[in-house]
Structure 1
Amino acid sequence: MGCCVSKSTDSKASRIARWRSTGIVALRDSKLKAFPNEVFDLDRSVRTLDLTHNKIVQFIFAVDIPMDISKLINMQRLILAENLVQQLPTNLGKLQSLKLMTLDGNQITSLPDEMGQLVRLERLSISGNLLTCLPETIGSLRNLLLLNVSNNKLKSLPESIGSCFSLEELQANDNLIEDLPASICNLIHLKSLCLDNNNVNQIPLNLLKDCKVLQNISLHGNPISMDQFQQMEGFQDFEARRKKKFDKQIDSNVMIGSKGLDEGVDL
């Protein structure tokens, strides 16, 4: 009589084989409370890791289970939204192939300085957390295209953000931000700046003049007046870009969401 393999063992083996073959580890809504150790057995095979909507408290590291995150050195997409993570490990910086990281809807209070080592990162979304500040090392993310830090407790953005030279979209809605660093004027590729529901009462004077491709600014729910905005140098050129984008949206018959068509500026 042949050896009997349990259904659960066979299922696990099949799952790991599928992960290794596709490079995609998808464990959404799996009721996980801890990082799945078997992922480390895949080593360099992992390209995408999606652990959305679980109950994970600790991400990859634990006091009693030392883990070498560098085994996942080829991972490009890390999606850990809607969990209970409070802290990120310092060895996160070893994931230097990462291009996308989504950490929305956790309980993260700070980002490690080692975040700046993720030099290939293009999209970072960490909305809906408890961040009070961003590390200065974020300025090392020279390939970053999108930064979403909305729905946190940020009082300011670091001066170093002006070194994220590739940044095209910055979302920082629903924070406690009062002032913007002057360095934001260095973001010559910036197209969209969203700062709804903050405490911003003025923006850097050269923003519209220096950010020559900026076409959308949203400042709803801030103590800044339209008059202040219109008197800034470069406003007329910004307004022309805004209208061109708006007209293009209409001509293309784009689908309009519940908030209506984005006109590019909201004060």
Structure 2
Amino acid sequence: MKFVLPVILMCTGMVATAQHANPKKAAVYYTLTDALKDREATQLNLRDKQLFTLNDSIERLEHLRFLNLMGNNLEAWDESLFRLRKLEDLILRQNKLRELPEQVSLLHHLVQLDITGNTIARIPKGIGRLSKLRFLHAAMNVISSLDASIGDCRSLEVLAFQFNQLSYLPASIVHLKKLRVLNLGYNQFNEFDPAWLELENLQELNVEYNFFRRLPDAVERLGNLRTLILTHNRLDSLPETLTSLQHLELLVVSENNLTKLPAHIDRLQHLKTLIALNNPLSKEEKERIRKALPGCQVYVDKD
């Protein structure tokens, strides 16, 4: 497993959230006091300030577009947040928030919402009102349900829900035609939802550490996939149709029960990295795989 982590981190960079303001756009303020001196302030970074609450005066920053509250001690959403109607980037990761309230729907201009690393259990109906939302980062919570209104967020490009308690996604997910990244690793999924096959622009799918026993033959419909991560499921075979994913560059199938890979794996001509550690592959099968993919970095267990 030593090879897996750095490769995945490198190849899943598009999921990473922007935690920093852009000083090239406008001045970045690091205290509320300084920001309030500029009534036109658009960027405020209050990361790691040991805040337990927000001062109500923050609502006077009517033009604020970027607000970073990462790494504080917030347990509840201050009402003043919902009066910042021009916010585009709201970062609340690594706090102590227990819910995502319905009032989030008031932030109509949100493009990025990052609530990673809290104790939130559900994504409410109000999320569907965020028609401009492109990036929703909600990893490392205790989320077990996602409201069907998520399907109304037609601008979504990234959904990151790894390390939660999800066992299903609402059928409305099929409406997210712009979705590029779907990260569902470390959840409770037992089967591959056919609805995901409608996500025709998906480039990265991560379902590691779930309970899948098979992939559907129709996985070939995800023709734009570049990254597919299936680590630590219960797969004992992969469909031959997987070799139709002509744009695939990274395939990770470690820690499953695979005794062989698809017969025509050589068709994956753009595959750059294949990681298949901790599978019961025979010596002959490993050799066949290496010969079939001469331009690919292949990681399998040593004999």
Partner residue in 1 for 2:131: 96
Partner residue in 2 for 1:215: 249
Partner residue in 2 for 1:28: 70
Of residues 79, 90, 114, the one that matches 1:49 is: 90
Q: What is the Cα deviation at residue 16 of structure 1?
A: 4.0
The answer to whether residue 227 in structure 2 is matched with residue 192 in structure 1 is yes
- Maintained 8 Å contact 1:219/1:266: no
- Maintained 8 Å contact 2:190/2:213: yes
Percent same amino acid at aligned positions? 23
Deviations 1:7-62 (A, max 9, x none): 8xx794664455x434012111221111221111112x01011111111111114x
Q: What is the Cα deviation at residue 169 of structure 1?
A: 0.6
Q: Distance in 2 between matches of 1:169 and 1:54?
A: 28
Q: What is the Cα deviation at residue 77 of structure 1?
A: 0.0
Secondary structure of 2:90's counterpart equals: strand
- Maintained 8 Å contact 2:208/2:229: yes
Partner residue in 1 for 2:270: 241
- Maintained 8 Å contact 2:112/2:134: yes
Corresponding letter in the other structure for 1:213? H
Q: What is the Cα deviation at residue 265 of structure 1?
A: 6.5
Q: Counting helix residues as a fraction of each chain, which structure ranks higher?
A: 1
Partner residue in 1 for 2:173: 138
RMSD: 2.3
Of residues 76, 79, 95, the one that matches 1:37 is: 79
Give unmatched runs, 5+ long, in structure 2.
1-32, 37-53, 275-295
- Maintained 8 Å contact 2:135/2:157: yes
- TM-score by length of structure 2 reads 0.70
Deviations 1:115-134 (A, max 9, x none): 11111100110101011122
Q: Distance in 1 between matches of 2:105 and 2:147?
A: 17
Instruction: Rate the CA distance shift 1:96–1:78 in 2: closer, same or farther, 3 A.
Output: same
Q: Distance in 1 between matches of 2:266 and 2:90?
A: 45
Secondary structure of 1:119's counterpart equals: coil
- Maintained 8 Å contact 2:138/2:161: yes
The answer to whether residue 88 in structure 2 is matched with residue 58 in structure 1 is no
Q: Distance in 2 between matches of 1:180 and 1:174?
A: 14
- Maintained 8 Å contact 1:48/1:77: yes
Partner residue in 2 for 1:79: 114
Deviations 1:52-77 (A, max 9, x none): 1111111114xxxxx3x432111000
Corresponding letter in the other structure for 1:212? Q
Secondary structure of 1:167's counterpart equals: coil
Q: Distance in 2 between matches of 1:265 and 1:168?
A: 22
Corresponding letter in the other structure for 1:36? D
Instruction: Rate the CA distance shift 1:102–1:266 in 2: closer, same or farther, 3 A.
Output: farther
Give unmatched runs, 5+ long, in structure 1.
1-6, 62-66, 247-261
Secondary structure of 2:173's counterpart equals: helix
The answer to whether residue 194 in structure 2 is matched with residue 159 in structure 1 is yes
Q: What is the Cα deviation at residue 89 of structure 1?
A: 0.7
Secondary structure of 1:124's counterpart equals: strand
Deviations 1:137-186 (A, max 9, x none): 21211101111111111111210111111100101111111122333211
- TM-score by length of structure 1 reads 0.78
Q: Distance in 1 between matches of 2:237 and 2:175?
A: 26
